[in-house]
């Protein structure tokens, strides 16, 4: 962010929240599933390297099995099932 961000105190914590599968923010993640074009226009490609940027926000009951990943060239984050990611 370029400037300050106002947050409700209830949305902050002193320790980083845990992510599924032992993933942590900043981890390198490789997409390990079928390549596809998403409805947003972004793409995920087998072997594409991205960075875990936080918790999934799908809010469809699957967030406990996903993490949010930023892949190069994509405009937005992709909420990936942890079973579609690997560290090597």
Q: What separation in angstroms does the CA of 35 have from each of 19, 22, 65?
A: 24, 24, 19
pLDDT digits (tens, 9 = 90+) for 14-25: 887 789 999 999
pLDDT digits (tens, 9 = 90+) for 5-55: 999 998 888 887 789 999 999 999 999 999 999 999 999 999 999 999 999
Query: Which pLDDT value is given to residue 13?
Result: 84
Longest dimension (CA), the chain: 40
d(C-alpha 32, C-alpha 82), whole Å: 10
Contact residues for 28 (Cβ-Cβ < 8 A; gap 6+): 49, 50, 51, 52, 87
Helical H segments across the chain, by residue range:
none
State pTM to two decimals. 0.84
């Amino acid at each position: 962010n370029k400037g300050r961000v106002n947050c409700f105190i209830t949305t902050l914590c002193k320790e980083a929240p845990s992510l599924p599968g032992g993933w942590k923010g900043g981890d390198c993640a490789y997409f390990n599933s079928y390549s596809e074009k998403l409805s947003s226009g972004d793409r995920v490609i087998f072997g594409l390297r991205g960075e875990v940027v936080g918790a999934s926000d799908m809010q469809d009951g699957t967030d406990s099995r996903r993490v949010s990943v930023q892949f190069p060239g994509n405009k937005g984050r992709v909420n990936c099932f942890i079973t579609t990611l690997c560290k090597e």
